[in-house]
Structure 1
Amino acid sequence: MTEKYFKSLNYSLGNEDTTLEVEMVKKLNPKKVLAVAGSGGRSLPLLCHGPSDLYCVDLSKEQIHLTELRSSCYKEFSLEDYLLFWGYPPYEPEDNTRKRNTLFNELDLSDDCKKFFSRLYDEINWISPLYLGKWEKTFQVVAKIIKKIMGSQHDKLFQFSTLEDQLDYYEKDFPHLRWRFLVFLMGNKSFFNALLYKGHFIEKNVEETHFEYYLKNFDHLVKNVLAKESFFLQLVFLGKVLTKEGIPIEADPSIFDDIKRSLNEGNASLHLEQKDIFELVKKIDNIDFFSFSDVPSYFTGDVEKNFLQNIRPCLSSNGVVVLRYYLRISEVDETGYQDITQDFSNLIRKEKVGMYRIKILKNIS
């Protein structure tokens, strides 16, 4: 694994639509859940169905701190205060700094976490850190370039309330030539290495070129998801989430209270683990649901080949593993697993980031 890339604050909002996993845990009702922590926005929503345990694991101390901060916000805040604190619509990240300071001081955080964020907030004058992750900053640069090239057309996708109207615009009036130029300009290894990965970009093994991959996935996304409901499309084109419909699942009213209840009523034990995944899986067992994020796309060599076998001892019988492949499909030994991806094809089709090849496996040992 490229540890250098993951040992820093890479994600402050997040790069995945966890709605897929949320709907899966509602259906499967797993008792013990393991998830890559990320910003906390991809992992903590998995508390919505009331599991007995949620393990959030990440190599990055900063990502674990961010997950702890979010978990404390769930415990203490109303949904309205949660939106204000993080700067989700109708609020702005730069506004309500005094209120954010007051809310922060109400939170029960570990000493290390409190110290980390006290310093951070003082440095940024109490604006929200929602867009301060390396990944989010990268797409704010992308959005500025798109606006410069596309001009007044850069935000037209977000005006539609029906997929039919969006598709009509996309087919007839969307500036496809300028968009193809932008994808050619930015959708490549050199661009992302320069802005984000610093030489550690994924070693692609999908058949498509980078240009074809991004163009095809964008086309699929626009044809299946309303742009105003996709936080990812808003980051790409607008640099931030500007519509209530685009707020990620972490602050969805339909599950916010369920997450809060799981944390406050003692239904779920939350374990924040700053360590390598393969260290953690040696110490836990009977995991019913494992949300692996896109981490396997960064594996190579023996780690790539054997990671599914290395995690099997921690899985329960019929335990489910969700993999998101980005540009690289792992060449991995799937012995002992059943591919159940098709069972969730409708959820996958509606996933609001659209850049991943999602695979879902069930342990059948």
Structure 2
Amino acid sequence: MGKYFHTLNYSMGDEDSSLELELLPQGASQVVAVAGCGGRVLPLLAKRPRRLVCVDILPEQLAFTRLRLALLARCEREEFLQFLGYRDGMSALQRARRLDSLGLPDADHALVSGLFGAADGRDPIYLGRFERMLQTLHRITRLMTGEAGRGIFATEGLEAQREYYLTRFPRRRWNLVVALLGNSAVLNSLLYRGDFPRNNLGISSFQRYQDIFEALFTQAPARDSFFLQMVFFGKLVDESGFPVECRADVFAEAKRALLDCETQIVQADAIETVAARSGVDFVSISDVPSFLPDDIAQGLLQRMRPALADDALVVTRGHMRVVRPDSEGFAEVSDRYLPLIARERTQLWHVHVYRKHASESRLASAGRTSTR
């Protein structure tokens, strides 16, 4: 992997994991998910899988994942929110003392405490490269759109928000921000360090970002999107936009599930981790395919196929590069989940869901049973 994969890229994340939470069946046998910073996998515990495998290639991301799981196990929700910086109430000194009490492995403790020490006043959820890029973008957004831009968050009701967007929102000045965000050279400089996946969508990056924000401004309350809050304020200012890991019901269910779920944290390639197992019935690999060479990306489903249980779901995401892998032995069932996908609160992703066909032996057995 390139330069992008050598540091803490995410501390809050760029995905709305409520989508995977809804897709995951209750009580799944074995789930494998890209860890990210832990925020995208912690909610999956709320569905009480018997085994949850969190995989990533970066030790910093896995350290943040272990941190979140330790907080889930040892803290109540309010302390969890304060420690990570979703809410005020915990000083840097208090956070350091609490970190020491969490029982993290020495290597993870050293990584996390080092990141905290270099935080320059930032709360933990704002330490990732992606989150810092959004804070840089926020300063540009504020300069270009000012109070008129942020005014869209003050509207009451979706119809009022749409009316504001169409008649009072500074759309011409906003398009300059979109043009900047849609510039691959700028994103390479601010975030991807030369590893920005090439655009294969058939439309310009500018048009793609126009479509993303058009959906965010017109299909749901702006305040409900943590991504929009970061773009316009550089931080989370309204709890309605907190990521799904913060939801009281999700946190409570995930905390209870820890008692019964076997949680594994693995530093490895996500696809190879799945391929080395058996009986996996849910896979969430985020946008990993976007960064793979074409031949490996095309074969990812076939590489994992022997390890998957019948009817297993594989969920992939793509931003500017969308991979359509060889799906022999699978049915693409994305259309069944279009309402869920439309409610994803970042709208950054093309989401694809694949279901593995039942094995021939199972189908034959079912046929024999039906003829008796």
Query: In structure 2, what residue type is equivalent to 1:290?
Result: V
What secondary structure does 2:126 align onto?
coil
Equivalent of 2:191 in 183, 186, 196: 196
Aligned residues, how many? 358
Q: Which residue of 2 aligns with 1:293?
A: 286
Check conservation: 1:17, 1:351, Cα contact below 8 A.
yes
User: What secondary structure is seen at the aligned counterpart in 2 of 1:289?
Assistant: strand
Q: What is the match of residue 32 of structure 2?
A: 34
Q: Note the C-alpha offset of 1:161.
A: 4.0
Q: Once the two structures are superposed, what CA deviation does each residue of 1:17-39 show, in whole Å capped at 9, x if it has no partner?
A: 000111122x4542211100001
For 1:6, the equivalent position in structure 2 comes to: 5
Does the CA contact (< 8 Å) of 2:199 and 2:320 recur in 1?
Answer: yes
Residue 164 of structure 1 pairs with residue 159 of structure 2 = yes
Amino acid at match of 2:94: K
Task: Write the deviation string for residues 49-103 of structure 1: whole angstroms up to 9, x where unpaired.
Answer: 11110011001011001100000000011110011101103x27xx522322232
Find the partner of 1:53 among 45, 51, 54: 51
The CA distance in 1 between the partners of 2:338 and 2:347, in whole Å, is 13
**What is the CA–CA distance in structure 2 between the aligned matches of 1:305 and 1:123, rounded to whole Å?**
40
Q: How does 1:259-298 map to 2 (within 5 A)?
A: 259-263=254-258, 265=259, 267-298=260-291
Long gaps (5+) in structure 2:
360-372
Matches of 2:309 and 2:173, distance apart in 1: 50
Q: Which runs of structure 2 are paired with 1:203-282 in the superposition (5 Å)? A: 203-263=198-258, 265=259, 267-282=260-275
Let me know the Cα RMSD of the aligned residues.
Answer: 1.6
How far off is 1:126 after superposition?
7.5
Q: 1:186 to 1:342 in 2, by over 3 A?
A: closer
Q: Compare CA radii of gyration and give the structure with the larger one.
A: 2
Query: Aligned letter for 1:16?
Result: E
- Once the two structures are TM-superposed, the CA of residue 270 in structure 1 deviates from its matched residue by 0.7
The equivalences for 1:91-170 within 5 A come to: 91=88, 96-124=91-119, 128-170=123-165
How far the C-alpha of 1:151 sits from its partner, in A, is 1.7
The offset of 1:340, in angstroms, is 1.1
- Closer, same or farther in 2 for the Cα pair 1:3/1:32, shift >3 Å? farther
1:21 is aligned to: 20
Distance 1:180 1:361 in 2: 35
* CA-CA distance at 1:3 after TM superposition: 4.4
Return structure 1 stretches of 4+ with deviation > 6 angstroms: none
Give 3-state SS (helix, strand or coil) of 2:198's partner.
Answer: coil
Write the letter of the residue equivalent to 1:272: I
Matching residue of 2:327: 334
Counterpart for residue 76 of structure 1:
74
| TM-score, reference length from structure 2 | 0.92
- Code of the residue aligned with 2:45 in structure 1: it is L
Q: CA deviation at 1:277?
A: 1.7
* One-letter identity of the residue aligned with 1:236: V
SS of 1:204 mapped into structure 2: coil
**Residue 324 of structure 1 aligns with which residue?**
317
User: More displaced, 278-287 or 104-113?
Assistant: 278-287
Kept after mapping to 1: 8 A contact 2:15/2:346: yes
Share of identical aligned residues, percent? 35
Q: Is the 8 A contact 1:299 1:330 kept in 2?
A: no
- Counterpart AA for 2:133: T
TM value normalised by structure 1: 0.94
